[in-house]
């Protein structure tokens, strides 16, 4: 794989920016516009290919708008988790798995921690969230 980890993170954020009205960030921002998705490097699997390369996985932290009611927050998380649709993160990645023409293939492989409430340091808000896992293959 010729792309850097930070380059893939940036490409994922660019591919997801605007999907379902989300702002996408390639790193945790000092201040953020919600709802949003923050792309972070997750697990990296080494020796997964015959050539001894690696397979990076990325975690997409989807944060709901804390100004919405709990049912509205849940609806926004649900829409983003659907395999297709205008708010689907998987659908956005599936529509361009090369993330803008890179020499790789990205795919959503799962989701976890649905509804987990997190507090971002420096923030006075709690965010309902879900973490979506993306695998990138060269």
pLDDT above 90 (res 85) = yes
Return the structure tokens found at 50: 């015959």
Chain centroid to Cα 13, Å, comes to 7
- Checking if the pLDDT of 61 tops 80, the result is yes
pTM: 0.92
The whole-chain average pLDDT of the chain stands at: 92
Tell me the CATH architecture of domain 5-137. Answer: 2-Layer Sandwich (3.30)
Tell me how far apart the terminal alpha carbons of the chain are, to the nearest angstrom: 5
Residue located via tokens 């060269």: 138
pLDDT grade, residue 25 (50/70/90)?
very high
Structural domain spans, the chain: 5-137
Structure tokens at 8: 């893939």
β-bridge partners, 44: 56
Secondary structure (DSSP) of 57-74: EEEEEEE--TTS-HHHHH
In whole angstroms, give the CA distance from residue 90 to residue 16: 9
């Amino acid at each position: 794989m010729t792309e850097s980890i930070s380059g893939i993170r940036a490409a994922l954020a660019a591919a997801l920016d605007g999907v379902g009205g989300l702002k996408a960030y390639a790193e945790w921002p000092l201040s953020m516009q919600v709802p949003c998705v923050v792309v972070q490097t997750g697990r990296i699997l080494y020796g997964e290919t015959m050539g001894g390369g690696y397979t990076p996985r990325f975690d997409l932290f989807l944060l709901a708008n804390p100004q919405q009611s709990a049912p509205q927050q849940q609806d926004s998380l649900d829409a983003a988790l659907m395999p297709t649709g205008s708010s689907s993160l998987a659908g956005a990645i599936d529509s361009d798995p090369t993330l803008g023409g890179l020499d790789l293939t990205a795919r959503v492989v799962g989701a976890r921690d649905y509804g987990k409430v997190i507090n971002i340091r420096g923030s006075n808000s709690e965010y309902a969230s879900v973490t979506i896992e993306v695998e990138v293959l060269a």
